[in-house]
Amino acid sequence: MQVAGEMIIGRSAVVGKEGTMKAIDPSRNVEIEPAFGLAGAADLQRAAELADAAFDVYRATGLEARAKFLETIADRIMDLGPALIERAMQETGLPQARLEGERGRTCNQLKLFAKVVRDGRWQSATLDSALPERTPPRSDLRLRKIGLGPVAVFGASNFPLAFSVAGGDTASALAAGCPVIVKAHSAHLGTSELVGKAVAKAAQECDMPEGVFSMLIGSGQTIGQNLVSHPAIKAVGFTGSRAGGIALMKTAAARKEPIPVYAEMSSINPVFLLPGSLDNAKLPQSFADSLTLGAGQFCTNPGLLIALKSDKLQAFVDAAAGTIGGKGASTMLTPGIHKAYVNGVGSLAGVEGVTQVAAGQTTDAPCAAQAFLYQVDAQRFLTDAALEGEIFGPTSLLVVCDDVAQMLAVAEHLEGQLTAAVHATEADRETAARLLPVLERKVGRILFNGFGTGVEVSHAMVHGGPFPSTSDSRSTSVGASAIDRFVRPVCYQDVPAYLLPESLSDANPQNIPRVVNGDLAWKA
């Protein structure tokens, strides 16, 4: 399949007429052919109308048909073969192995949600029988969850497949019975077109309604904000900057009918190094590897280390400095991201009391990020807000604490985070026990003796957290529970049996687990 500079509106491949845009090869900082036509108001309106018309038809599809659709999307993505990986490499500067792994993760997400759909638990089917003899009588009450409606999904810059056109937001929204309109990210236009056409092909093969999927190309102002403002859109999935997420939240809140925005935004992912862990000779290498993985362009990158002052900590710093010093500079995703990284490092280095303790190798290649480790004392960190900002790239700040009380104060001071890691041994049990309840209030995923880079797609995973890591701490953008963002409960009172949805009928033809009169009733 060739890249043609097209977007997808329903079953049509369309070239926008509101100007053009080209992707950029960050390894050379040059534009890549072809030019992509940008969507205008008429394109957005057509996609929204199709999605609105498709909603009732699509949400009425059987569980098996919907699950098969998700699996077919995965198959059609795999059918793209090397062409997809080659285009993604060109547009992102990411290595082949990383992108092949991400393609596998993307397809596994789709298959996970196919399983979730078939399982049926996401519907929360609940039946309370009528009690006519009771005073007062109780009506027959039945509850299920249904999709919210068409969902706007924004592709992320740092995951051209797994958080993009057919990524987790799209997969979970489609699983919930919601049509999806994707705004493709400008950093990987060709990759988005290829995947978008694969989704559209799967939709047609599975006889899904035309408006179940569309993909628009355009600027954030003219398409992104207008998409969120459109009355047909009932929810938003976003992964990106804090500024971008907050802008969409404001737009959604200002609508005549406000809608939820599930935005994954900013996180520095603190790592607590308790004294016992510093005896681990492999820890400096593990930290440096996590810090520089993918040029540090992970939302779970370890951007903050917190430790107690000691000779063992200095030994860790010395070893980490040596390891980081051997790390080569890596190409970042876009010139804009690289510029923001350089500016962020410069701002951090210019803060009084901050010292550089490690630096990676440099290169003359464009858009390449040099790794850094900086250090500051806890008192300075607690009093200078400039030290709390996310630097999207391979730079971390070590905060040195005088005692455990100061370490706990730093933990209390932190904003909401996606992850927090604690490195500890049995000897650190008391401190870890005091730290854990603080972290439970601050983050979505707590891990011990590891680093947050690497998010497993599973039933138990939480990729979310309190603001500003996300806009809604009750949700996750990765894992089976991501479907919960795009459904809402509906109660059916005394509805005739012939009108009840299958999930609530007495016969339970979907053969799903349900709660009946307060007791869990498993499949027949």
Report the alpha-carbon distance of residue 105 to residue 307 in Å, rounded: 34
Angle at which helix 63-79 crosses helix 96-119, to 10 degrees, equals: 170
Is residue 264 flagged as an active site residue? Answer: yes
> By C-alpha distance, which of 275, 250, 276 is closest to 263?
250
Give the contacts of 347 (CB within 8 A, at least 6 positions apart).
386, 389
Q: Kindly report the length of the chain.
A: 524
Report the alpha-carbon distance of residue 366 to residue 338 in Å, rounded: 9
Q: How far is CA 494 from CA 91, 299, 316, 379, in A?
A: 56, 48, 67, 63
Whether omega before 468 lies within 30 degrees of 0, making that bond cis, reads yes
Q: Using DSSP bridges, classify how beta strands 7-9 and 12-14 pair: parallel, antiparallel or unpaired.
A: antiparallel
Angle at which helix 96-119 crosses helix 82-92, to 10 degrees, equals: 120
Q: In what order do the strands lie in the sheet with 261-264?
A: 12-14, 7-9, 213-216, 180-183, 151-154, 235-239, 261-264
CB 22 within 8 A of CB 189: yes
**Element holding 126 (H helix, E strand):** strand 126-128
Which of 264, 367, 390, 401 is flagged as catalytic? 264
Which of 299, 367, 390, 401 is flagged as catalytic? 299
Three-class SS of 55-124: HHHHHCCCHHHHHHHHHHHHHHHHHCCHHHHHHHHHHHCCCHHHHHHHHHHHHHHHHHHHHHHHHCHHHC
* Encoded amino acid at 181, one letter: I
Is residue 33 flagged as an active site residue? Answer: no
> By C-alpha distance, which of 190, 130, 218, 235 is closest to 495?
130
In sequence order, what DSSP letters do the residues of 186-248 get, joined into one string?
GGGHHHHHHHHHHHHHHHHHTT--GGGEEEE---IIIIIHHHHHSTT--EEEEES-HHHHHHH
Give the contacts of 180 (CB within 8 A, at least 6 positions apart).
51, 150, 151, 152, 153, 169, 170, 173, 174, 212, 213, 214
Q: Which residue has the tokens 């601050």?
A: 442
Per DSSP, the three-state class of 269 is coil
Residues with catalytic roles: 264, 299
